[in-house]
Structure 1
Amino acid sequence: MSYALSVEIFGAGLTPEEPSHWGLVINIPPSQIGDLLHVRTLDPMRGFFQFEPRFGTKLVTQQAYGLCALSRLSDQQRRQAAQIITAEKAPTDGKRNCQDWIFSALLSLEIEELVPAGTSGFWKVMIGKPAEYIKTAMGANWVDLRSL
């Protein structure tokens, strides 16, 4: 069985004050149900986040913009990826946010060769960019969730 690992983008992210929310998704395409692995804000004033897995969740929601396909995983790789993502420390320094957390998780996944070389570097450049910019940069690897 083949699983897809993707970054899901929520919200337009048009301003630095309201960036898009990013999370990692593992699902079996073309299913619109998957496991969302992300950090949620606990204290926006102090920049405290907490890891929050959402298993068996709908990928198409009111805030969902799109899925950015990263790699295909075997069942064993899926378990390994989930362990790596779960172990990534949520931001609590008031400087980093969910996008920085995704970059760190992707760097760890890249080291373990679960995403292609260069993936983390690409996403580091995407930090703070609007969803439409990411959509254009992703090209054929973008699935528009607003049209589903």
Structure 2
Amino acid sequence: MNFATDLASVSHGIQLAIAPVFLLTAVAGMMGAVAGRLARIIDRARFLQDRLDAGVLDKPGKEKIYDELYRLRHRGWLVNGCLGFLTFCAILIGLTIILLFLGETSALPIFRIATVCFLAGVVCFLLALVCFLIETVLSMHKLKFEQWPAR
């Protein structure tokens, strides 16, 4: 393996590797937002489970809680899927950064691999956005806006 040691190659390699870092920053920000949604889902499910465990609910009250717990479970699956796609995206973008830098500073012909890693990372990011969109729609489904007073 012949590594280039001239300053121009190293600086160009850094320039190439910097662009995907912006996507990595977006992924990290989205992971924080999605993890916050997961925490709220878990908190709500624990609250509902505590109400069930207290044993003071009538049958219709229990059915409502079981229905909401069912919806929370589906939302939790979507959020977990979203976090999985985001994590895989971050791994692929990190590999892209490494491959771009190595491709520029060495004689390794790895730019095609870097391209595939980057595109796969973008696909994972888009799939995470789809999961996030579906989860957001499901979270709004429970709200009944027609019952709110008009202004």
Q: Name the structure where helix makes up a greater proportion of residues.
A: 2
Same fold (TM over 0.5): no
Which of the pair has more CA radius of gyration?
A: 2
Return the structure number with greater relative CO, CA threshold 8 A, min gap 6. 2
TM-score (norm 2): 0.24
> Higher strand fraction: Structure 1 or Structure 2?
1
